[in-house]
Amino acid sequence: MVAHAYDFWLFDLDGTLVDVDPAYAESVFDRVGDRLGRSFSDREVEVLWHGLSGERTPQLREWGIDPDAFWAALHEAEDPEARAAATFLHDDAAFVAELDRPVGLVTHCQEYLVDPVLDRLDIRDWFDTVVSCTHDTGWKPDPSPVYLAMSDLGADAAADGVLAGDGPNDIGAAWNAGLDGVHVERHGPRRRGRCVLGDYRVRSLEELHELRVDRSVASD
């Protein structure tokens, strides 16, 4: 089965293992809007918070928003403790704790935001390494942060690994690093506006206990 087929596992965090009460995201974007002098619709908040369109910077430019100003405003508007208090585990996230392989986290969420979430949800010991993407490490789908997590886990090039995430950048990072990719669809292609490919596509991580390994997907 897929759950036992790999030497190591990597996971995305937000949208894959955890999510945030929508009211928190809306409050953050209200503060961002005040700083930028524009309001954000519910749909814009959803697209940007969950990365439904893939990379957020091109989407911001398409909407006429300066990316540098947006990211600066977003980081100022975030409250790490309030975000942690508003964060909940998906029901199937315990799949990670059940794995008997090395496990790493590769997330775009910054360390000052990740740490309170891991501590409040008491899941820090699920992971053997945590990599928060930065300008220095690169951003998914760049494989560099994936390679960094692999190095932390002691996984060499011959190791058979997989990365599970809810967005196209997660699958892109997995494939660019030579790993298999599991797309965990939390939103559905209609809300996302696209269909995300993957070696495996699931709505719940629990499905990975039943799915059999299919190497033909990656080799086609």
Range in 24-28, 64-68, 162-166, 184-188 the model is least confident about: 184-188
pLDDT of 60-112, one tens digit each?
999 999 999 999 999 999 999 999 999 999 999 999 999 999 999 999 999 99
Query: Can you count the helices (H) and strands (E) in the chain?
Result: 11, 8
Strand order in the sheet with 200-202: 129-132, 103-107, 8-11, 161-165, 180-184, 200-202
Q: Which of 144, 162, 46 is nearest to 95 (CA)?
A: 162
- Band (216; pLDDT cuts 50, 70, 90): low
Overall average pLDDT of the 41-55 stretch? 91
- Whether residue 99 contacts residue 128, with contact meaning beta carbons closer than 8 Å, is answered with no
Say whether pLDDT at 217 is over 80: no
pLDDT of 98-157, one tens digit each?
999 999 999 999 999 999 999 999 999 999 999 999 999 999 999 999 999 999 999 987
Predicted pLDDT of residue 220: 41
Check residues 156 and 23 and name the one with the higher pLDDT: 23
- Whether residue 102 contacts residue 154, with contact meaning beta carbons closer than 8 Å, is answered with yes
Bond prior to 143 in cis (omega within 30° of 0): no
- 98: which residues sit within 8 A by CB, 6+ positions away? 3
Say whether pLDDT at 212 is over 90: no
